[in-house]
Structure 1
Amino acid sequence: MRKLTLNDEILLQIEKPARYIGNEVNSVMKDPSKVDVRFAMCFPDVYEIGMSHLGIQIIYDMLNRRDDIWCERVYSPWTDLDKLMRKKKIPLFALESQSPITDFDFLGITIQYEMCYTNILQILDLSGIPLLAKERDEDSPIVIGGGPCTYNPEPLADFFDIFYIGEGETVYFDLIDLYKEYKQKRLGRKAFLHEAAKIPGIYVPSMYRVSYKEDGTIASFEPIYEDIPARIEKQVVMELTDTYYPEAPVVPFIKATQDRVVLEIQRGCIRGCRFCQAGMIYRPLREKDLPILKNFARNMLKNTGHEEISLSSLSSSDYSNLEGIVNFLIDEFKGQGINVSLPSLRIDAFSLDVMSKVQDVRKSSLTFAPEAGSQRLRDVINKGLTEEVILNGAGQAFEGGWNRVKLYFMLGLPTETEEDMKDIARLADKVARRYYEIPKEQRNGKCQITVSTSFFIPKPFTPFQWAPMNTKEDFLGKAKVVNQEVKEQLNKKSIKYNWHEADVSVLEGVLARGDRKIGKVILRAYKKGSLYDAWGENFDNELWMSSFAEAGIDPDFYAMRNRDKSEILPWDFIDCGVTKKFLWNEWERAQKGQITPNCRMGCSGCGAKSYGGGVCYED
């Protein structure tokens, strides 16, 4: 086994060398001579962000439970080490063994957001793995991608051997066992990939061909061989309580973005917000039983030494036993200095009561996400939130001692008008006004309302996947409307307004709905120096625009164009459980401003209820 360690000279030249040295508490060490398969699990961003990702911790724990597999971790080197590695020709290595990534059988990359695509090429490049899958030989690791961005894998199709569609606990062992068989018999890379393509949830891009019409839309997408499926079915863990979960997660050496124990209480969401990809692709809703959650909480806090535990879910308020788990955590760890974090709560009296038990209200701020300023537009996006609920929730929070509120909105939503934009500022003012209605002696200092707007990005497998985006200029113009309206409000001194970068949002929209032709743009951008595009200080829009121009591709074709019902979308070959018919019906209902009830109020027939032989929720 080759072992590459960064010497002291190099470590002294870089920021946060602890990102690269390994040996963290609960990291897994094995003898490479005694395992059959070596798997490098990668998060293509800096260590602190990658170490905060629950999915990698789950797969790391799952794979390492088998004696014949050693799963290690690798993250994107920050720009300082990136330069030194290229200068000194140091190949990228895994944290646990310090072995070069080229020594591994698999390189698994989780793809959480579109703006990390050039980082994926950095990982391959620094590893010495050919960037294009077609150029890899028998000695190259099998490069496999997973995560939410694989629900449209086509922009990255040229760079990956395999995409894993669905939840990692399902068929990974089937894939690895097949690899072991083909490795032992020396049947070759291409033969393995062909056979792997027959495993449910496994998409091998090289086994499929795509053709285009003259207008640039897709004419056909089909498998090259008759014995592999035309559609890839998302893999789902239906019995969430009994599946893999790490009771001794790896503890980072340096402070991570989410420096705490993460307790996953459920997957999926019942709400059906029409802009939300996660709410669609992670259906159906599945809950974990309370007894197993109690056991996980005890063991993870004991095994890590963390002083905070966070309940993970798309909508924690919808967990049927939220009160039970919160009361347990409060009672079990009383006096031990353990903080409880409750993200993704909705605005209601119960949620506020729960938060008041676990938060210091004088130090914390509340986060509400109305998403749209007007009730009309909230109905369009099926937010299921009325102004009355928002103001009542804010009022109860203020009466409970909070004085800081963050409000999140989107600009550029379908059917949006100027009045909708102005209503963002007006709603913020109403929230501030609600604070000053409390008797002065009950107030906790001055009221602070922070309004943040992101720009709407249509994502695959949402009812808005057919919608056009706004241009950069339109987005900035809308932010200006909101900013001006904030200045005209009675309580303007209590309101602070922030907005997202428009050019980053437009590029994210192009990458989200792109096809295979986008791959050559990503490659050009990377070779021009694009890296860490999710980090504002590193993003260079002109570099990307010149890459589009050189590739002869118009980004507006992917971002600004209306799609019709008959168009073949780049991701149509994936079955995510929610049907295209349902999504189209929701798109039509959105344009009429019609609300669709959440799953517990009545089944809307999305297709996920019977997916995988399970049910959406407990009646």
Structure 2
Amino acid sequence: MSKLDIHDLLYKVEKPARYLGNELNSVHKSIDETTVRFAFCFPDIYEIGMSHLGMQILYHLLNKEENVFCERVFAPAIDMEKIMRENNLPLFGLESRESIRHFDFVGFTLQYELSYTNILNMLDLAGTPLFSKERGEDDPFVIVGGPCAYNPEPIADFCDIVVLGEAEEVMVEIVKAYKEMKANTYSRRSFLEKIASIQGVYVPAFYDVTYLEDGTIEAITPNNQHAPKKLKKRIIQNLDEVFYPEEILVPYLNIVHDRVMLEVFRGCARGCRFCQAGMIYRPVREKGVERLKNLTEKLLASTGYEEISLASLSTSDYSNLDSIVRHLIDEYEKDKVGVSLPSLRLDNFTFELIQEIQKVRKTGLTFAPEAGTQRLRDVINKGLTEEDLRNAVEKAFSLGWNSVKLYFMIGLPTETYDDLDGIRDLAFMVADIYYETVEKGQRGKGLNVTASASTFVPKPFTPFQWHPQDSLEEIYSKQRHLVEKLKRRNVTFNYHDAKTSFLEGVFARGDRRLSKVLAEALKAGCKFDGWHEHFDFQRWMDVFGQAGVDPSFYANRQREYEEVLPWDHIDVGVTKKFLMKENEKAKAGVLTQDCRTNCSGCGINTGFVGGIC
């Protein structure tokens, strides 16, 4: 393969640093015929992809392997893609600047349903056939993973391999099997059959889907003797022993999360019934404090960063949070290294800890009540009360904060307009507490309360996976209601675009019949659909019409317990029986306790990891 000369073209694009490569801690290797070449593709622009922790982990993990070269590929921005197509330049790896057309693997992380058209567009730019059945012996294997891979069916026809679960071990096993077969004579099919028995590997072509007259699924059955009937995700048992990079790539330009990200634990024990991550990433596994201390020292030394983010689904649930935070402040305050704590819960963190963090760098305060009334918070198993919010903001305002963000969801199952009015009541309560708590002469710039409302999207492997999503008309009505109700000085209301949430709902619970929709959407020019300036809803509706597919069948339809769901052949450890039970408890407004204090019997403890919880 020859290296592409793109220097003259980069003068014509907005941010040429996106395409240069060669950043600090990037990896470069000599290449020969024995090298296994892997393109790690992120289906969005450089600034988004470089912020993704999973990319940093797998990039360095694969490059530690002998005779394996992993390169990064990001979706070129609109201006760069135009130039590439005008000059017949194929999609290339940043490290070698060679076309990925003849790499061994082209891998995509599936973080968001609205990135699917970017995946197809990148394959098209690479000159790789879109559909797996059209690829020949010289084409790369297209491999995907990430949270959306737990229902990969809408893009299954484009994928050769789907990785289910945590990828550190399974990716090495796949590459090792490929190296063994590459040294001898092999075919695409024989390789896929070899790896199909690896736990966490799903080969979509080895499964047939049949449908009933009403459009629902009749059955999902293996068509190859090497394919298991039920596919189990992979779990990393011990986070202290699994690979984690001691150096990470440092970008040339500002990215979304420009800092050291220190993963403190995986999983979540809370059991919010709308939250897919809280179900699919079970069980909870923590990193030890000593391991975190060691990683921090090496990561700061190898990057020069001045901020550490403690990453997890709910950082304040980390059992040694106080210990690690105080260590980081004591050790690195002199170097002006700040600490950020995303994913804090109202009911289990101390402001004393936050005050310690504020010594180095000021942080904002964000709370997520999710619903406006206690009734609805009990339905979704949020486990927070109005008193929790009251106590938190009283303490915050007394300690000098004057800006609070509140996150809510609208369209949740059983929601009424009384619940929407509860959003107004909570936002106004927070504003009232500020004026009750802070003396007039100490108010400085004054108060800012921001209430944000996203639209509920039912997701696979949650207790709400059977519920319909609100129609666009229902969401518009609720948004207008809140706009009127939340008119008050110092209170700002923001809401998410309902049309993108609708499309997300279609693909979140879709099946293989949506592949023809995606292929047509690519032809129609759909891409960067998660970006407001590029999203064209009418174009999508036209595509659905041309494909003869009703999107509301996937987004707005109530599903019965007896229905075969598109992801029923995948086992994430949380049983369908448990999800049904939680859905019934939701209807009754009954809470389920934190599973670390009282096992809820979800199935992960017995079916997967033998008592790790």
Global fold match (TM > 0.5): yes
| Aligned-partner SS, 1:240 | coil
Q: Is the 8 A contact 1:284 1:615 kept in 2?
A: no
Equivalent-residue separation in structure 2 for 1:350 and 1:539 (angstroms): 39
More displaced stretch, 126-135 vs 179-188 = 179-188
- Indicate which of 564, 571, 582 corresponds to 2:567: 571
Q: Is the 8 A contact 1:34 1:68 kept in 2?
A: no
Q: Paired residue for 1:260?
A: 259
- Indicate which of 458, 472, 494 corresponds to 2:490: 494
- Indicate which of 507, 510, 533 corresponds to 1:511: 507
More displaced stretch, 215-224 vs 597-606 = 597-606
Deviations 1:533-580 (A, max 9, x none): 010000000111111111111001001110011000000111001111
Q: Paired residue for 2:133?
A: 134
Residue identity (%): 53
How much has 1:221 moved relative to structure 2?
0.3
- Equivalent residue letter for 2:473: E
Q: Paired residue for 2:233?
A: 234
How much has 1:454 moved relative to structure 2?
0.3
Whether 1:594 aligns to 2:590 is: yes
| Aligned-partner SS, 1:150 | helix
Equivalent-residue separation in structure 2 for 1:132 and 1:108 (angstroms): 15
How much has 1:211 moved relative to structure 2?
0.2
Q: Is the 8 A contact 1:364 1:404 kept in 2?
A: no
Equivalent-residue separation in structure 2 for 1:357 and 1:451 (angstroms): 27
Whether 1:183 aligns to 2:182 is: yes
Equivalent-residue separation in structure 2 for 1:226 and 1:412 (angstroms): 44
| Aligned-partner SS, 1:610 | helix
How much has 1:484 moved relative to structure 2?
1.2
- Indicate which of 581, 599, 606 corresponds to 2:602: 606
Q: Paired residue for 1:60?
A: 59
Equivalent-residue separation in structure 1 for 2:358 and 2:607 (angstroms): 38
The 5 Å alignment of 1:36-51 reads 36-51=35-50
Q: Paired residue for 1:377?
A: 376
Equivalent-residue separation in structure 2 for 1:551 and 1:34 (angstroms): 43
How much has 1:68 moved relative to structure 2?
1.6
Q: Paired residue for 2:219?
A: 220
Q: Paired residue for 1:102?
A: 101
Q: 1:349 to 1:277 in 2, by over 3 A?
A: closer
More displaced stretch, 437-446 vs 65-74 = 437-446
Q: Is the 8 A contact 2:307 2:337 kept in 1?
A: yes
More displaced stretch, 164-173 vs 433-442 = 433-442
- Equivalent residue letter for 2:43: P
How much has 1:444 moved relative to structure 2?
4.6
More displaced stretch, 78-87 vs 180-189 = 180-189
Q: Is the 8 A contact 2:317 2:348 kept in 1?
A: no
- Equivalent residue letter for 1:275: F
How much has 1:197 moved relative to structure 2?
1.4
Q: Paired residue for 1:156?
A: 155
How much has 1:588 moved relative to structure 2?
0.7
Aligned length: 612
Equivalent-residue separation in structure 1 for 2:25 and 2:570 (angstroms): 36
Q: Paired residue for 1:557?
A: 553
Q: Is the 8 A contact 1:366 1:404 kept in 2?
A: yes
Q: 1:308 to 1:35 in 2, by over 3 A?
A: farther
| Aligned-partner SS, 2:335 | coil
Q: Paired residue for 1:462?
A: 462
Q: Paired residue for 1:545?
A: 541
Q: Is the 8 A contact 1:379 1:594 kept in 2?
A: yes
Q: 1:434 to 1:615 in 2, by over 3 A?
A: farther
Equivalent-residue separation in structure 1 for 2:281 and 2:396 (angstroms): 31
Q: Paired residue for 2:145?
A: 146
Q: Paired residue for 1:324?
A: 323
- Equivalent residue letter for 1:606: C
Q: Paired residue for 1:524?
A: 520
Equivalent-residue separation in structure 2 for 1:263 and 1:543 (angstroms): 41
- Equivalent residue letter for 2:295: F
Q: Is the 8 A contact 1:453 1:499 kept in 2?
A: yes
Deviations 1:236-277 (A, max 9, x none): 001011100011111111111100000000000010000000
Deviations 1:151-179 (A, max 9, x none): 00000011110100011112212211221
Q: 1:155 to 1:349 in 2, by over 3 A?
A: closer
Q: Paired residue for 2:485?
A: 485
Deviations 1:398-432 (A, max 9, x none): 11110100000000000000100111011100111
Q: Paired residue for 1:210?
A: 209
- Equivalent residue letter for 1:155: P
How much has 1:224 moved relative to structure 2?
0.1
Alignment root-mean-square deviation, CA: 1.3
- Equivalent residue letter for 1:572: D
- Equivalent residue letter for 1:466: W
Q: Paired residue for 2:246?
A: 247
Q: Paired residue for 1:168?
A: 167
Deviations 1:484-503 (A, max 9, x none): 1112xxxx102100101011
Q: Is the 8 A contact 2:397 2:438 kept in 1?
A: no
Q: 1:404 to 1:134 in 2, by over 3 A?
A: same
Q: Paired residue for 2:576?
A: 580
- Equivalent residue letter for 2:472: K
Q: Paired residue for 1:435?
A: 434
How much has 1:362 moved relative to structure 2?
9.8
How much has 1:438 moved relative to structure 2?
1.2
- Equivalent residue letter for 2:4: L
Q: Is the 8 A contact 1:364 1:402 kept in 2?
A: no
How much has 1:363 moved relative to structure 2?
5.2
Q: Which runs of 4+ in 1 moved over 6 A?
A: none
| Aligned-partner SS, 1:334 | helix
| Aligned-partner SS, 1:32 | coil
How much has 1:348 moved relative to structure 2?
4.1
- Structure 1 gap ranges (5+): none
Q: Paired residue for 2:388?
A: 389
How much has 1:352 moved relative to structure 2?
2.2
| Aligned-partner SS, 2:253 | coil
Whether 1:288 aligns to 2:287 is: yes
Q: Paired residue for 1:471?
A: 471
Q: Is the 8 A contact 1:610 1:616 kept in 2?
A: no
The 5 Å alignment of 1:78-97 reads 78-97=77-96
Q: Paired residue for 2:4?
A: 4
Q: Is the 8 A contact 1:275 1:462 kept in 2?
A: yes
Deviations 1:215-243 (A, max 9, x none): 00000101002332011100000101110
| Aligned-partner SS, 2:271 | coil
